[in-house]
Structure 1
Amino acid sequence: MNWFEYLSAFVMLYPGIMSVYWTLSGLIYFLIWEKRDIKPEFTRENAPPVSILIPCFNEADNLDASIPHLLQLTYPNYELIFINDGSKDDTLKLLRKWEKQSGRITVIDQPNGGKASAMNNGARAARGKYLVGIDGDAVLDYHALEFIVDTLEQRPEVGAVTGNPRVRNRSTILGKLQVAEFSSIIGLIKRSQSLAGTLFTVSGVIMSIRRDIWRKIGGWSENMVTDDIDISWKVQTSGYEIVYEPRALCWVLMPETFRGLYRQRLRWAQGGAEVILKYTPQILKSKNIRLWPLYSEYFVTLLWAYALLATTVLTFFYMFNGSINPMLFKVGGLATFIAFLIQLSVSLFIDNRYERNLFRYFITCIWYPYAFWMLNSLTLVIGFPKALFRDKTRKATWISPDRGIQ
């Protein structure tokens, strides 16, 4: 084999190797931690107070649908803190209306400063032992808080918990594909990483952190474009673990246009790069050795993304002069496809525990892991340079992409 064939083998096989790793480790996590039918129960007397922080920027179209569900949570001791982040629609008006109707609701109004700024202002007003952050369009499962609080109460080494986002909008093919993505890829990755008590990121749409740790680490960083990734590494480099709690379900709206999905994933890629670069000095210290595998995986994936770009360009050159070996691509492609097939089957089997009839998406989504890796590659290649050169002295504000076809 020549150097080009070695490079091609890396590009072809790396997604399949990671797929096998995520599948096996995710299955182990399920069998050890998740396959338990014990549902925690809390009473008013023994339930520690929880503050749910909901930052809102132009959420007028979603609040009347999401707030009634938030008022029906079964956890007996929680408050709802809505932070209006300088909305230009009727968000503040609707929040004031709901504040008058329920004693659980507190409304904070601030000039537009970004999600992290809103979360910090909400946390300063919070009375809870635990802070839970969700999006303005999110619908929490009625029992989600019990699972989050139980995990934090039982495991003092855990500083933060992330829940299980589920896609609400499925009116288009793209919406349905993301249902499979959150199960077969994102869910398995979080299970796999949780085995070591480390996560690349909590899900910003459903996460929780101990309020004393929030205070200790200085809260959310207001100059980072992905506040959720940043606080994840801030917690972990401070010596605490982060785990995935798949039983804490949260139903969210996701982009259903290609433009919206690309914008969302590009921000994720840029934000991930910013965080990795920011925390490299702390990560490389020996006390954070448990973070090295996660850190190394990021750079291998980044290398793969640029290798894919190079291989794509070079393949056309080698095809014209007839020096390419098609058997390598056939064998590598088949091996990776089989790995994706097993990954999708295992993940849908696991998540069918929380959402019935997920296997109806199997046939239409069987090719989606390829699309995920291609999109991941494109956004990494573009997002890493953007992270290098973005002005980080400014507060990070951004507008959410579309949340489904209206």
Structure 2
Amino acid sequence: MQILDILLYIFIIVACIQVTIYLFIYGRFSFSKPTKTNLNTTPVSVIVCAKNEAENLERFLPAIIQQNYPEFELVLINDASHDDTLEVMQQFAELYDNIKIVNVKPIEAFWGNKKYALTLGIKASKHDLLLFTDADCKPVSKYWISEMVGHFNSHKSIVLGFGAHTRIKNSFFNKLIRFETLTTALRYFSFTKIGMSYMGVGRNLAYKKSLFFKVNGFMDHMHIKSGDDDLFINQVATTKNVSICFKKNSFTTSPAKTTFKEWFLQKRRHVSTAKYYKLKHKIALALIYSLQLVFWVLTLILLVTKHQWHWVIIFLSIRLMAQYITVGAASKKLNSKDLIVSIPFLEIFLISIQLFIFINNLVSKPNHWK
């Protein structure tokens, strides 16, 4: 049997597996409807950890303070900033009596460790329901708190939300960033749907304070400077205690990186934490990425050699159709419809960059926090 025949058979198998993943795993989220929630007026602690974020706090805090929710406190954590972050926090605290400031001084044992700062903020909070976002994030509506909190109940102690990035017209790089954000959300929402919740994003995440202290907070991975969101959720999530919130009123949005270097370094930090996930999650994510890479490499080889090209076109079309259906449906849910047309091109660019990131992380360790 010729080598090209073998590659063709592998290509067909990989394409079929990917179609199954798109339709029966990603489809669990893409074709779902938002869960109906009861009105919840339980007091909430909204937590924002900031390091050198004076300008962003001035810009985005008003959208949090003006939330339409009966009782919430806003815990602002100043993580040893050297700009005017603390001063900005104090200015807001003078105007609003529901703001609490936690000023974290640098300690050698936890230097540059966001988890230490967050732990102090969580300890200082007075409510059991904790809702997290970043200093550069803005809720898209005044119902952000109520939408997220509405998913808590006696069984659900974690709520995963969606943190979008702002759109920049006529920018392929911006589309690439938002496509990565979209596909990441599609994965963690879909995996939660099948009982394999493995991560959340700190831009829009909620969990109970009692759960945090039940597992001793971040202690199991305090030595890892990143992963205050995804590693913690990977540690505490079960098949039953996680809910997802994807109503559009629940989204947050933040400015996307504008230079490749900044975004690349950020992605390096995020990818570096994945090796600490539970084994089943690492296997699943590695399989998904490997299938994508193998699929496009074999597509290129078989099309260039024109070997059984009609079969290649058939299975390529089937796979792309499954992708367009599921990712397209997810993009509509997550306000990213403008990405639909470019999906295959964005995917090829993204998996190429991710491969480069994996190689870079093997060679050197990425920097963490700020």
Normalising TM by the smaller chain, what interval? 0.7 to 0.9
Counterpart CA distance in 1 for 2:120 and 2:246 is 28
- Of 210, 213, 222, the residue aligned with 1:212 is 210
- Partners of 2:180 and 2:350 within 8 A in 1: no
1:256 — aligned with what? 258
Report the alpha carbon displacement of residue 271 of structure 1 after superposing the two structures with TM. Answer: 1.5
Q: Distance in 1 between matches of 2:328 and 2:194?
A: 24
Once the two structures are TM-superposed, the CA of residue 295 in structure 1 deviates from its matched residue by 5.3
Structure 1 270/131 Cα, relative in aligned 2: closer, same or farther at 3 Å? same
Partner letter of residue 263 of structure 1? Answer: L
What amino acid maps onto 1:218 in structure 2? N
Aligned-partner SS, 1:367: helix
Aligned residue number for residue 404 of structure 1: none
CA distance in 1, matches of 2:282, 2:43: 34
Q: Is 1:95–2:89 an aligned residue pair?
A: yes
**1:340 matched to 2:323:** yes
Give the corresponding residue for 2:236.
235
Report the CA distance between 1:207 and its aligned residue: 0.5
- Structure 1 residue 372 and structure 2 residue 347: aligned? yes
1:50 to 35, 44, 51: 44
**Sequence identity percentage:** 18
In structure 2, how many angstroms separate the alpha carbons of the residues matched to 1:58 and 1:143?
Answer: 28
SS in 1 for 2:151: helix
Aligned residues: 355
Structure 2 partner of 1:285:
none
Task: Give the residue type in structure 1 aligned to 2:254.
Answer: V
Structure 2 partner of 1:350: 333
C-alpha distance 337-166 of structure 1, shift in aligned 2 (>3 A): same
Partner of residue 86, structure 1: 80
1:249-282 CA-to-partner distances (Å, cap 9, x unmatched) read 212222233333333333322222x222xx33xx
Correspondence 1:19 to 2:12: no
Note if contact 2:192-2:198 (Cα within 8 Å) is conserved in structure 1: no
- Compute the displacement of 1:146 (Å): 1.5
Matches within 5 A, 1:113-262: 113-140=112-139, 141-153=141-153, 156-171=154-169, 173=171, 174-176=173-175, 178-179=177-178, 182-183=181-182, 185-220=183-218, 221-224=221-224, 225-236=226-237, 241-247=241-247, 248-262=250-264
SS of residue in 2 equivalent to 1:51: strand
Which residue number in structure 2 is paired with residue 397 of structure 1? Answer: 368
Q: In 2, Cα distance between the equivalents of 1:152 and 1:329? A: 47
Matched, 1:77 2:60: no
1:324-380 C-alpha deviation (Å, 9 max, x unpaired): 4434442332222222322244224434xxx5xx64x25xx4223542354246425
Partner of 1:298: 285
2:100 match: 106
Change (3 A) 1:260 1:113: closer
Aligned residue identity for 1:5:
L
| Distance in 2, Cα, partners of 1:259 & 1:227 | 23
**Cα distance, 1:134 vs. partner?**
0.7
Cα gap change, 1:98 to 1:196, in 2 (>3 Å): same
Cα offset, 1:245, TM superposition: 0.9
Match of 2:57 among 49, 63, 66: 63
What amino acid is aligned across from residue 27 of structure 2 in structure 1? L
The 1:66–1:84 alpha-carbon spacing in structure 2 relative to 1, beyond 3 Å, is: same
- Runs of 5+ in structure 1 lacking a partner? 281-291, 400-406
| Residue among 267, 270, 273 paired with 1:268 | 270
2:164·2:251 contact (CA, 8 Å) conserved in 1?
yes
- C-alpha deviation, 1:68, in angstroms: 1.0
1:8 partnered with 2:6? no
1:160/1:387 CA distance change after superposition, 3 Å: farther
CA gap 1:257/1:16 in 2 versus in 1, 3 angstroms: farther
Q: 1:389 to 1:261 in 2, by over 3 A?
A: closer
CA contact (8 A) 1:344 1:366 kept: no
Give the C-alpha shift of residue 152 in structure 1. Answer: 1.1
Write the distance in 1 (CA, Å) between the matches of 2:175 and 2:360: 31
TM-score by length of 2: 0.81
Does structure 2 conserve the Cα–Cα contact (< 8 Å) formed by 1:11 and 1:308? Answer: yes
Q: What are structure 2's unaligned runs of at least 5 residues?
A: none
SS of 1:262's partner is: helix
CA distance in 2: counterparts of 1:176 and 1:374, whole angstroms: 11
CA shift for structure 1 position 135: 0.4
Distance in 2 separating the partners of 1:339 and 1:308: 14
2:323 maps to a residue whose letter is F
For residues 78 and 243 of structure 1, do their structure 2 counterparts lie closer, same or farther at Cα, with a shift above 3 Å needed? same
Quote the Cα distance in structure 1 between the aligned partners of 2:14 and 2:57.
44
**Aligned equivalents of 2:262, 2:14: Cα separation in 1:** 27
CA distance, structure 1, for counterparts of residue 323 and residue 165 of structure 2: 21
User: In structure 2, how many angstroms separate the alpha carbons of the residues matched to 1:2 and 1:77?
Assistant: 65
Cα offset for 1:233?
A: 1.3
TM-score by length of 1: 0.75
1-structure distance, mates of 2:116, 2:169? 33
The 1-side partners of 2:363 and 2:198 are apart by: 19
Native 8 Å contact 1:232 1:242 kept in 2 = no
Contact (CA 8 Å) 1:66, 1:138: kept in 2 or not?
Answer: yes
Q: Which moved more, 1:67-76 or 1:370-379?
A: 370-379
Change (3 A) 1:53 1:388: farther
| TM-fit CA distance, 1:53 | 1.3
